[in-house]
Chain A
Amino acid sequence: MLYEVRMTTTYEYGRPAVGGRHQVRLMPAEIGGLQRMIAGTLEIVPTPRDRYDQADFFGNRTTGLVFAGIHDEIALTVRARVDRSAPPESLDLSPVPSALREEIEASRSLAANSPHHFLGPSPRVTPDPAVRTFAQAVARGRGSVVEAVSALNQAIHDDMVYDPDATTVETPMAEAFAARRGVCQDFSHIMIACLREIGVPAGYVSGFLRTLPPEGQPRLEGADAMHAWVSAWCGAKTGWVEFDPTNALRVGSDHIVVARGRDYSDVAPVKGVLWTAGSQKTTQSVDVIALD
């Protein structure tokens, strides 16, 4: 599937900032065999004093920005053409959940895709007793890791109410879970916590969703802004499989990957330290048009 992606994020400051330093992760990723960015630009207003592109530890396209002058607004615009295909359907070759640990230990790697990075606590996903009880109840008796992950994906979708007014980007995972409300970020963090609780390595994926569904299908939740979903390591043979708990889906060709990490803090679209005292307001518009 070929897509035209266009996204603009605007930060308006209550009081002018005298400078700032940011890290931006907004450009679609390159994933061998599944996703290719044919062309892409990131436009920044005002023009930063320093701008550099690099790949972070997880291989995400990262742009560093330094603003030196006084400014009261930053606008970031992504334009990209992306070719995306769905991961191949395959038989469930994942081990029984109790055997996963041995497969993890057999991995002697610190590379970005090593399961070892995704098992322990990370800045935004830490153990929580309520999540533990929930995860253990859902996963109990499942015959394979993929089955357990799918069950949790569905259970979180069923149990949670999608409610953009219930949480903010700063709401802790446990709080969103207690309220059973939130958006894609909360759904994903909760699912990651559930998976780590049952010993399945799990990470956070940020990206875009196609705006208009194919004929005859419902419009997906989360298409108006950047989206987030979950990647789970399902054993050495199966590797990483992506799930979207907000829409109770296995990720296919409707999802365009931007960045992967342990949780939101690794992939935040715009991270930054700003020299201003005032508040700020964010607006975002996303259009993902299928071209074929």
Chain B
Amino acid sequence: MRAEALQVQAPDTDSAAAYQPLPGIPDEMLDATGRIRPVWRDFIRRFSSMNPEEVIQRFARGDEYLRDAGVFFRQYGHAESPERDWPLSHVPLLIDESEWNALAAGMIQRADLLESIVADLYGPADLVAGGHLPAAIVAGSAEWLRPLVGVRPRGGHYLHFLSFEIGRGPDGRWWVLGDRTQAPSGAGFALENRVASTRVFSDLFAEANVHRLAGFFRAFRDTLDGLGGRDGGHPAILTPGPLTDTYYEHAYIARYLGMMLLEGEDLVVERGRVMVRTIAGPRPVSVLWRRLDASWVDPLELDDSSTLGTPGLVEAVRRGSVALVNALGSGILETRALLAFLPRLCEVVRGEALAIPNIATWWCGDPAARTHVLANAGSMTIGAALSTRPSIDTDDDIRSAGWMRSAPEASIEDRLATDGHLLVGQEAVTLSTMPVYAGGRLEPRPVTLRAFLARTASGWQVMPGGYARIGRSDDPSALAMQRGGSVADVWVVSDQPVLSDTLLPPRTAPYVRPEPGALPSRAADNLYWLGRYVERAEGIMRLLRAWHLRLAEAISRDTPLLTELRDHLASFGILPEQRIPDAIQRTLRSAIASAGRVRDRFSVDGWMALNDLAKTARRMSSTVTEGEDEARAMGVLLRKITGFSGLVHENMYRSDGWRFLTIGRSLERASAIASVLARFADEDSPAGGFGLAVEVADSSMSHRRRYAVSTTRETVIDLLALDTMNPRAILYQLTELREQIGLLPGATGQGIGTPLSRAVLQLHAGLAVKTPEELTSEDILGCRTDLGQVSDLLSEAYLR
């Protein structure tokens, strides 16, 4: 009834009616006369008709998606909580298709212009010789990479993927606030925002003619495939690794586009070709979509302090055997001072005016510009000319603008006179506002939009949408954006129905099953250790549960069995006196670190399960009490960890990656059982040892069923060492190891096998022929040593 009553009130009221734009500041939803712009009308009518409960419910759907998808944002300098929730502002930014098309045409012009400029700066440098661009700006920039001068990029183009940060100024026109040409980020986040906002507004989205994003990505993937040519192998994404703030996005895009995600250490340059080190040997790669700054990619020819790079990569680029997207050195186009010259350069290079103006900029190396900046210092910001960060993103200190020769305490006049070539003046920019839902109503907040362009076979394509960034307060000055706020999806709305599109290719050719790409050795290594760490954590939990159960029933802490168990735990660095011992948390952290380096190959559910497990363990450490309570806690953790294992083994594709995970698990489990048996299933084990071994190996039920008689050393050894049907038995795991290792690349075919496959075979056969009576504790310990050797051989053959 209440909802109806609300709807009866005029549709344009509620949220919309209460919405008050800031005086003198253009608004995206309302025009200058306060009327709702046509493109917003349907949306806002529907939105206004929702009651607060419904709005909250809808928003929760989007948030739930983001949480389940594991979208997070990593912030530098926040050690305690480096990953924060994704700050989605659920109301999207709506832009009319016709306005967008005009904007897109202007951005394409800008992209073409930038390509011409960068080609000139790494080629003939005519723009400098002709006096259109000061040499000081180029030569002074750390982004003008001298080793790349004169090197034509493979494929002929320097730029393939760009982003422009744009905002609407007080006159209602769009302005470019900054160009990202080096390794633009945000496109993957734009996709995630889209998925989330369609969860929130599924019905509205379906009815509104919103342009889809998938076609843009498909076209770009085709570009990357095309750059590789015939000799190339698959294109790959080059990331600086999990410590980067946008690593999540790299992994997401890699998964979305089905591309390998590589780090510098995955690559090696051989005879001028870039090769990926995989478990099947080096494999060529000829297209790298890099997400790290150029100076880091080759310590030999670029920044020699880089530990993220691949020596020889620049030489491979020089020989044309690899295309980098964008070309190394394209960061020079981000130089702030360049904005001062772009309008003129557009005239010179293209014989036309710049279609979208950029933030008005004066390079103070020029005397006339200097005078202008001094005269208008009040309405300007003065910043570092050679900085590559857009002024809206940084509050930089001009004292670090370069080799300043004026005294630090000098007046602004003196600074400009002495160090003008290192400084720019930029007009202070104000932005338009868009509605944000806060405190039960819509409020105006300043917004900038990051647009993305990809080069395709038929020229530049603009992503019909983008990544909106919204200011935290209603301060519309562009500078306020630095302090961070929220992000929103961008809907480009047509008045015609649009094609719904996904990444699936159109069905024209017969289906061809794609060959899986070779697994990089580093990824294999991380999956192998993930398997080992998770299994190790589980083993520790089982031992600790056994400890606490016995402790709860024991009269003394020093019974022979408890003493033996304490010694056993101590030999692995586990201190049962700690509540949820550090060993568990340490092992889980190692597992998460390994998983974190293969996010692109690992299901989001698995990742969440693992993190949840670690969080639970951490939380429990301050609440549990010794004995029965902690035994119960271990039970909880064990259920969670088996949940994780279930996810992995039920759902993961049986790829080489899964194989390494499984090998790690089998090896760890066999080794752990061996150590338990050697200690608790020995003739000299304290009373209760046999039962403990069976319990720790989670085989009590099987034991009861198979051996109705009492527990003896023989029954325990038979069930936990020699049984081929019990997944907790050593022999079972050795069989698994033999099979999986046999399926790895290069494992068979030469008849005699590799040292690795021979070692596993020998180990397996040696155990398989034994009877329980014959198998001594020494034999079991020998088995454990041999497993260590298998691990070494595996590393040598595949993981380095």
- Residues of chain A touching chain B, judged by Cβ–Cβ distance below 8 Å, are 21-23, 49-50, 52, 54, 56-58, 64, 66, 104-105, 107-110, 114, 116-117, 119-121, 123, 126-127, 196-199, 265, 271-273
From the candidates B128, B131, B269, B405, name the one contacting A110 in the complex (CB within 8 A).
B128
- Contact B300 A271, beta carbon cutoff 8 Å: yes
The residue among B139, B271, B272, B312 with the most chain A CB atoms within 10 A of its own CB is B139
Q: Are B135 and A199 in contact (CB under 8 A)?
A: no
Q: Contacts of A54 on B, CB cut-off 8 Å?
A: 318
Q: Is B708 an interface residue (CB 8 A)?
A: no
Contacts of B146 in A (CB 8 A): 56-58, 117
Q: B668 → chain A, closest Cβ, in Å?
A: 28
B304–A265 contact, CB under 8 A?
yes
Q: List 7 A-B contacts (CB under 8 A).
A: A21-B300, A56-B147, A57-B146, A58-B146, A105-B134, A119-B139, A119-B140
Known: A23-B300, A108-B129. A116 touches B135 (CB 8 A): yes
Bound form: Cα–Cα A121–B312 in Å: 25
B301 contacts chain A at the CB level, 8 A cutoff: yes
Contacts of A110 in B (CB 8 A): 121, 125, 128, 135, 138-139, 149
B92 CB to nearest chain A CB (Å)? 44
Distance of A117 Cα from B139 Cα, bound (Å): 5
Contact of A127 with B135 in the complex, beta carbons under 8 Å: no
B136 CB–A CB distance under 8 Å: yes
Within 8 A of A (CB), among B180-237: none
Give the residue of B140, B304, B315 whose beta carbon is less than 8 angstroms from that of A116. B140
B interface list, Cβ under 8 A from A: 121, 125, 128-131, 134-136, 138-140, 146-147, 149, 269, 271-272, 299-301, 304, 311-312, 315, 318, 365, 402-405, 421
Inter-chain contacts of B128 with A (CB < 8 A): 108-110
Name A64's closest neighbour in chain B (CB-CB). B315
In the complex, what residues of A have CB within 8 A of residue B134's CB? 105
Query: Given A66-B312, A265-B304, is A120 in contact with B140 using a C-beta cutoff of 8 Å?
Result: yes
> Given contacts A114-B139, A271-B304, is CB(A121)–CB(B147) below 8 Å?
no
Is there contact, CB below 8 Å, between A105 and B365?
A: yes
Distance between A60 CB and nearest chain B CB, rounded to angstroms: 11
Residues from chain B with a CB closer than 8 A to the CB of A120 are: 139-140, 402-403
**In the bound complex, CA of A188 to CA of B402 (Å):** 21
Chain B residues with CB under 8 Å of A123's CB are 304
A272 x B365 contact (CB < 8 A)? no
Name the CB-closest residue of B to A272. Answer: B300
Cβ contact within 8 Å between A197 and B315: no
Nearest first, the 3 A-B pairs at minimum CB distance are A116-B139, A57-B146, A273-B311
Question: CA A105 – CA B130 in complex, angstroms?
Answer: 13
The interface centre, meaning the residue of A23, A57, A116 with most chain B CB atoms within 10 A of its CB, is: A116
Chain A residues with Cβ below 8 Å from B421 are 105
A150 to chain B, nearest CB (A): 21
> Which residues in B have their C-beta under 8 angstroms from that of A196?
403
Identify 9 new A-B residue pairs, CB closer than 8 A, beyond the known A57-B147, A114-B139. A21-B311, A54-B318, A58-B146, A104-B136, A107-B135, A108-B130, A109-B129, A110-B125, A121-B403
In this complex, what residue of B is CB-closest to A23?
B300
Assuming the A-B contacts A107-B135, A114-B135, A127-B403, are A57 and B149 also in contact, with contact meaning beta carbons closer than 8 angstroms in the complex?
yes
Bound complex: CA A56 to CA B136 (Å)? 21
Complex interface: chain B residues within 8 A of A197 (CB): 403, 405
Partner of B312 from A21, A107, A117, A119 at Cβ < 8 Å = A21
**Contact yes or no, B301 A108, CB < 8 A:** no
* Minimum CB distance partner of B407 in chain A: A132
Chain B nearest CB, measured from A24 CB (Å): 11
Given contacts A110-B125, A114-B139, contact A273 B147 (CB under 8 A): no
Given A57-B149, A265-B304, A121:B402 Cβ within 8 A: yes
Tell me, rounded to whole Å, the shortest Cβ–Cβ distance linking B309 to chain A.
9
A199 touching B405, Cβ below 8 Å: yes
The residue on A at minimum CB distance from B306 is A273
Q: In the complex, A116→B140 CA distance in Å?
A: 7
Q: How far is the CA of A58 from the CA of B147 in the complex (A)?
A: 9
Contact of B135 among A109, A198, A271 (CB under 8 A): A109
Chain A residues whose C-beta falls within 8 Å of the C-beta of B135 in the assembled complex: 107-110, 114, 116
Q: How far is the CA of A9 from the CA of B134 in the complex (A)?
A: 42
User: CA–CA, A123 to B302, complex, Å?
Assistant: 11
The CA of A105 and the CA of B131, in the complex, are separated in Å by 10
Contact B404 A127 (CB under 8 A): yes
Assembly CA distance A196 to B405 (angstroms): 9
Closest B residue to A118 using CB positions: B139
- Chain A residues in 8 Å Cβ range of B271: 49-50
Residues of B within 8 A of A265 (CB): 304
CA distance A197 to B404 in the complex (A): 8
A111 CB to nearest B CB, Å: 8
Q: Which residues of A contact B300 (CB under 8 A)?
A: 21-23, 271-273
A116: chain B residues at CB < 8 Å are 135-136, 138-140
Q: How far is the CB of B321 from chain A (nearest CB, A)?
A: 13
Known A-B contacts A50-B271, A109-B135; A119 and B403 likewise in contact (beta carbons under 8 Å): yes
Q: CB-CB < 8 A to B403: which residues of A?
A: 119-121, 126-127, 196-197
Chain A residues with CB under 8 Å of B131's CB are 108
Residues of chain B within 8 A (CB-CB) of A117 are 139, 146
**Which residue of A is nearest B137, CB measured?**
A116
Report B-chain residues with C-beta under 8 Å of the C-beta of A105: 134, 136, 365, 421
Q: Tell me how far the C-beta of A267 lies from the nearest C-beta in chain B, rounded to whole angstroms.
A: 12
Residue of B136, B272, B365, B404 touching A50 (CB-CB under 8 A): B272
Q: B269, B299, B311 — which one has the most chain A CB atoms within 10 A of its CB? A: B311
User: Measured between C-beta atoms, what is the minimum distance from A28 to chain B in Å?
Assistant: 22
Residues of A within 8 A of B136 (CB): 104-105, 116, 119
In the complex, the chain A residue whose C-beta lies closest to that of B139 is A116
A211 to B240, CA, bound (A): 48
Q: A46 to nearest B CB, angstroms?
A: 17
Contact partners of A58 in chain B: CB under 8 A: 146
Bound complex: CA A196 to CA B131 (Å): 24
Nearest Cβ on chain A to B325's Cβ, whole angstroms: 23
A23, A49, A57, A110 — which one has the most chain B CB atoms within 10 A of its CB?
Answer: A110
Enumerate chain B residues within 8 angstroms of A49, measured Cβ to Cβ. Answer: 271
Q: Which of B299, B312, B403 gathers most chain A CB within 10 Å?
A: B403
CA distance A22 to B402 in the complex (A): 31
Closest partner residue, chain A, to B138 (CB atom): A110
Task: Determine the chain B residues whose CB is within 8 A of the CB of A199 once the complex forms.
Answer: 405
Query: Chain A nearest CB: distance from B557 CB in Å?
Result: 46
Q: Which residues of B contact A21 (CB under 8 A)?
A: 269, 300, 311-312
Most chain B beta-carbon neighbours within 10 Å: one of A49, A119, A121, A265? A119
Quick one: closest B residue to A68, CB to CB?
Answer: B270
CA separation between A95 and B25, bound complex, in Å?
53
Chain A residues near B299 (CB-CB < 8 A): 273
Q: B693: shortest Cβ distance to chain A, in Å?
A: 42
Closest A-chain residue to B141, C-beta based? A120
Q: In angstroms, how far is the closest chain B Cβ from the Cβ of A135?
A: 10
Chain B residues whose CB sits within 8 angstroms of the CB of A52 once the complex forms: 315
- Residues of A near B130 (CB, < 8 A) are 108
Closest-by-CB residue of A relative to B318 is: A54
Give bound CA distance, A194 to B301, whole Å.
27
Q: Which residues of chain B are within 8 angstroms of A66 by Cβ–Cβ distance? A: 312
Whole-angstrom distance between the alpha carbons of A245 and B312 in the complex? 35
Most A C-beta atoms less than 10 A away, residue of B128, B271, B272: B128
Whole-angstrom CA separation of A263 from B415 in the bound complex: 27
